[in-house]
């Protein structure tokens, strides 16, 4: 899959995979879209520790679903390869902040929320560029030699 061939979520979920726990938006998105597509989500591991999931998936040659921000270094260091997932809901994901309506944020949380909200457009652009750069590297390499070692 590292050569850029398009794959659907249904096809991807047939491979052994790991998934962050339900506190992560990516996990919620995978499960929501899989349900609509009548695909089965049966991860080999679920964790709130993204580093653990990354290492476990790498060591066991599995698919790992992670937020783009969490995989910058691993993709850049050629530890993980992006997958060309043909799935509209994934292409339309956005960064967001959620808080309970009846709950007042602490001063520190409010300041961070305002700061993050102001930065979201730049972060989103950074995510898109990082993903495009990674895909450009991985998907334009020789499939027989994805690390350009020959």
pLDDT digits (tens, 9 = 90+) for 4-45: 888 899 999 999 999 999 998 899 999 999 999 999 999 999
In a domain, 108, yes or no: yes
What is the pLDDT at residue 150? 38
Where the chain has pLDDT below 70, the residues are: 93-95, 140-150
DSSP state of 142: B
What is the pLDDT at residue 140? 65
DSSP state of 28: H
In a domain, 147, yes or no: no
In a domain, 53, yes or no: yes
* Greatest Cα-to-Cα distance within the chain, rounded to the nearest angstrom: 60
Q: Distance from CA of residue 21 to its chain's centroid?
A: 13
Q: Distance from CA of residue 34 to its chain's centroid?
A: 15
What range defines the domain where residue 85 resides?
Answer: 9-139
d(CA 60, CA 67): 20
Q: Using N-to-C axis directions, what is the helix angle for 68-76 and 50-59, rounded to 10°?
A: 40
How long a stretch of residues is the chain?
150
Give rounded-to-5 percent helix, strand, coil for the chain.
Answer: 50, 10, 45
In a domain, 149, yes or no: no
The answer, as to whether pTM is greater than 0.85, is no
In a domain, 145, yes or no: no
In a domain, 150, yes or no: no
Please report where in the chains the tokens 């979920």 appear, as a residue.
13
In a domain, 148, yes or no: no
What is the pLDDT at residue 39? 94
């Amino acid at each position: 899959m590292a050569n850029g061939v398009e794959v659907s979520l249904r096809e991807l979920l047939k491979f052994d995979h790991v998934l962050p726990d339900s506190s992560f938006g990516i996990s919620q998105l995978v499960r929501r879209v899989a349900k609509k597509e009548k695909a089965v989500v049966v991860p080999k591991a679920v964790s709130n520790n993204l580093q653990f999931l990354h290492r476990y998936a790498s060591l066991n040659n599995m698919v790992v679903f992670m937020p783009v921000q969490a995989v910058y270094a691993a993709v850049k260091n050629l530890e993980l390869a992006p997958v060309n997932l043909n799935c509209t809901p994934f292409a339309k994901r956005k960064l967001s902040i959620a808080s309970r309506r009846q709950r007042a944020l602490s001063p520190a949380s409010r300041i961070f929320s305002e700061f993050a909200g102001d930065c979201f457009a730049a972060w989103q652009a950074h995510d898109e560029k990082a993903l495009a750069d990674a895909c450009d590297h991985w998907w334009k390499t020789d499939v027989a030699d994805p690390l350009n070692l020959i």
